[in-house]
Amino acid sequence: MPHKITLTGSATGPLREYDRYVAFDMREKGSPSAPKGLKKSTFISYTVFVAKKAFNKTGLTKKSIMHEKILIQGEPTLDIPIDECPGEVGVICFQITVLPNKNDKEKNESDTKKETKQEVAKPSEGQKNTESTKQEEQEEQQAPVSQSAANEQKKEAETVQPEAKEAPVQEKKAESKPKNLPNQPKGTQDLVSFDEIIVPEEFLKTRPNPEKTQKVIDFVKRTGRLDEPLTIEKGSKILKDGYRRYVVAKTVKMEQVPVVYEYQK
């Protein structure tokens, strides 16, 4: 059975186009814990081969691939001719994902903070209503009006103010309502397609305890759901926790799995 491999980084060379696929070079740091007597590798170079259809879906171009950080999942190959594979290891790519840029993330956060400050600086509807009510009271003192008319105006102002205060509270309650996901484990935030989840290489090297795995399989067959949600990274959908439940979902051929999101730091 071929070994799977996961790479992260940017292309170190230009994009090369062929008939039905494209290729580009990447590199990663070598293992820091090489056996004694062996020379430690500073970098390992890879040549990645991606189907054109899968590459075009990412929106990458010949220029942008040199600057964007990408994640590659695939398996090593020895079947590529040497002149097409300048890297030390050739990788057949099954899935390619563009990872979010830190600079873009920081810019979005700063823009969000600015918008929040501007919203705070703007006077609320309740304050506007209060100011207009004060102006009306001053005008009433200056102009001779009957006591009954003044009382009616005060009542109208009092009915307007509570409505303005209650509206934001109702909106907050509506926003805080969680998604309705029946027959799912406690804490589930969303349902994600099984095929979209990316499993890191360190998980693929492990083998969950067969007895515990069988207990989870029996639970799924009995209840029709997993006992706990999987933990994945928001955006990239990389598996962070719950590899045993991932294996169970694959075994029973679940199309969708319950997840909890972990946000990037």
- Answer whether residue 51 is part of any domain: yes
Taking only the tens place, the pLDDT of each residue in 251-260 is: 999 999 999 9
182-203, pLDDT tens digit by residue?
Answer: 778 888 999 999 999 999 988 9
Provide CB contacts within 8 A for 194, sequence distance 6+.
249, 250, 254, 255, 256, 257
Taking the C-alpha atoms of residue 64 and residue 151, their distance in angstroms, rounded to an integer, is 69
90 within 8 A of 80, measured Cβ to Cβ: yes
**Helix residue ranges, H only, the chain:** 52-57, 102-121, 125-142, 147-176, 201-204, 210-223, 243-251
What CATH number does residue 67 fall under?
2.40.50.1040
Q: What is the mean pLDDT of the chain?
A: 78
Answer with the one of 50, 84, 102 that is the final residue of a domain: 102
**Is residue 245 assigned to a domain?**
yes
**Per-residue pLDDT at 50:** 93
Minimum mean pLDDT range among 77-91, 92-106, 131-145, 178-192: 131-145
In angstroms, the CA 20 to CA 11 distance is 20
Residue 24 lies inside a defined structural domain of this protein: yes
Domain with 255 in it: 190-262
- Does residue 158 belong to any structural domain of this protein? no
CATH code of 195's domain:
3.90.1530.10
Q: Which residues pair with 198 in a beta bridge?
A: 238
pTM metric for this prediction: 0.39
Instruction: Tell me how many domains the chain contains.
Output: 2
Say if 177 falls within a structural domain: no
**Quick one: pLDDT at residue 177?**
47
Residue 66 lies in a domain: yes
CB count in 10 Å sphere of residue 27: 18
Which of the 8 DSSP states describes residue 116? H
Give the per-residue pLDDT at 73: 92
Domain presence at residue 137: no
Does residue 109 form part of some domain? Answer: no
Nearest by Cα to 165 from 124, 193, 131: 124
The closest of 226, 231, 223, 263 to 248, measured between CA atoms, is 226
Q: Which two tokens stand for residue 93?
A: 């790519």
pLDDT surpassing 50 at residue 30 = yes
Average pLDDT rounded to a whole number, residues 12-32: 85
- Using the predicted structure, report yes or no on whether residue 55 has a pLDDT greater than 60: yes
Q: Token pair for residue 253?
A: 């051929």
